[in-house]
Chain A
């Protein structure tokens, strides 16, 4: 059995303007040890799904099981085996020194004292928390706090970790620290991670699998690579010509011109970049050129817009 099983899952909210179907029948399975990116535009139903998986919200229909439990029915028992980090909110004790939060989490999740000490020592080292232990949580910077949140969430060694925008608002360095930690956690402990994010960089760097939902439905489920191959056949060759003469190349379409710079769009499966460059150099004098790969951000935007793979 899979660690997470979601089948025909639905959630309808009753609002003043009538019923709204936030989740409209979603199916997926997540195996133990997967690192899944969960993306979709605002209001797509991402957080509603996560809430149903973590037992905060009762489904209107369909089935959800996490670690073999029905979340809303066995909320407390599941809570012992799952970790949750919501980037915008804190799970720590705001007014108390950080170490007291770890202490409380230890008691709350009944982690044996010796295990807790050993695990905490390792987390402190990996996340560089040592100097922060005596600092009240309210005085931590956002980056420091996020490292502390992660430590508190994984201290009980959860089997599954739900993350909601864990890198939001962080600077480059802090983002890297959070990502390194998550990658290592998933690799060394086999923790299953469900990462909800708008930051596609998080996803391409961390996730083996990407789930995209919109209007409460699953619109993509596969690897990031497969997404690139399916949608990413269009590449762009950017050329700086040596002179101002008009230029054209067989097999590519001129999409933009600015001064001496030209943008040629071409399909990867029709002509290779090498072939195209050879054709171009045969007829024109070129000062410089670069090749642009479609970035994942573009692809996902196209998916949100409802484009199908070419």
Chain B
């Protein structure tokens, strides 16, 4: 499944970026729009939290650090994974484009991901990072290499998990052909849940988004370390090391689902 010749996929990705760059005004507008969503969301959260003062003992600025990490991860995942969204995959199938992908001497996943890199989500990624820096400053975080590393870990793990969800959903789409919105609940719902201190949730929701779709683990736990908090009972900051292996395990499961989807597609040619 993985590239036997990564250079080819880099070239494909470069070609897809060049194709988008041929319409610079369009690209700029879309990139700004992708970034603006972060700003609007953060402004809304700040306004709301200011009414409460704090939530679960967290200051508004600390909560916004979680939001920023989530958006930075989501943006990164969508740069490569937006094309795996159910509606886009079913479009590839319906137009016969995917059949053509299968006639290429390349991995279908590598081909699809590299051919439809969506640069506008770089805007969301950067807006997420900017939010982290801004909010951490307001929350009085003194950056150290360790804290920066934890923030990077959170972003990378969140991106990996979201990409895994997208892969699994794409695999599922090969079976159903119809695009399903269910995946959005997992991605956007999961990210939203992970954007608030996890201790405010009931145990079922907490379990779901800590261990099954581990966005909570990926964003919240490293963020504890960034903010110098010990974490609630059962989810201490020192679990941060678990984030990377769990994210990798999750993306591997997503990859298996994708493969199963392809196998189904080749079997039925739906």
Contacts and interface: CB of A to CB of B under 8 A. Distances in A.
Contacts of B267: 57-58
Interface stretch (A29-37, A101-109, A198-206): A101-109
B96 A93 contact: no
B270 to A, nearest CB: 9
Contacts of A120: none
Contacts of B104: 79, 108
Contacts of B105: 76-77, 79-80, 108-109
A51 B100 contact: no
What band does the interface of chain A fall in when counting residues whose beta carbon is under 8 Å from B? 20 to 34
A93 B100 contact: no
A88 B96 CA distance: 10
Interface in A51-67: 51, 54-58
A14 B11 CA distance: 39
Interface stretch (B12-20, B63-71, B138-146, B187-195): B12-20
A104 B19 contact: no
A256 interface: no
Interface in B65-107: 95-97, 99-100, 102-107
A271 interface: no
B38 to A, nearest CB: 28
A79 B103 contact: yes
A89 B95 contact: yes
Nearest to B270: A13
B51 interface: no
Interface residues of B, number: 25
A89 B11 CA distance: 22
A86 interface: yes
Interface string A40-56: 00000000100100111
Contacts of A100: 15, 18
A109 B95 CA distance: 24
A273 to B, nearest CB: 48
A95 interface: yes
A211 interface: no
B103 A104 contact: no
Interface centre among B5, B267, B269 (most CB of A within 10 A): B269
B8 interface: yes
Interface in B186-244: none
A84 B269 contact: no
Interface string A65-91: 000000010011101101010101101
Interface centre among B7, B103, B107, B266 (most CB of A within 10 A): B103
A242 interface: no
B19 A96 contact: yes
Given A76-B105, A104-B11, A104-B12, A89 B100 contact: yes
B268 A14 contact: yes
A95 B19 contact: yes
Contacts of B18: 96, 100
A223 to B, nearest CB: 29
Interface string B157-177: 000000000000000000000
Given A100-B15, A104-B11, A107-B11, A58 B106 contact: no
A107 B102 contact: no
Contacts of B97: 89
Contact of B266 (A57, A91, A93): A57
B106 A89 contact: no
Nearest to B21: A95
Nearest to A101: B15
A72 B266 contact: yes
A54 B266 contact: no
A57 B100 CA distance: 12
Nearest to A81: B105
Contact of A82 (B5, B12, B103): B103
Contact of B269 (A57, A77, A94, A108): A57
A13 B267 CA distance: 9
Nearest to B104: A79
Given A14-B268, A76-B106, A107-B7, A91 B100 contact: yes
Nearest to B263: A58
Given A77-B105, A80-B105, A95 B11 contact: no
Interface centre among B18, B95, B107 (most CB of A within 10 A): B18
A54 to B, nearest CB: 6
Contacts of A107: 7-8, 11
15 contacts: A13-B269, A48-B269, A51-B269, A54-B102, A54-B103, A57-B267, A75-B102, A76-B107, A77-B105, A79-B103, A93-B15, A94-B19, A96-B19, A100-B15, A110-B5
Interface of A: 13-14, 48, 51, 54-58, 72, 75-77, 79-80, 82, 84, 86, 88-89, 91, 93-96, 100, 104, 107-110, 136
Counting from the closest, the 8 A-B pairs by CB-CB distance are A95-B19, A79-B105, A84-B103, A57-B269, A80-B105, A56-B102, A58-B267, A76-B105
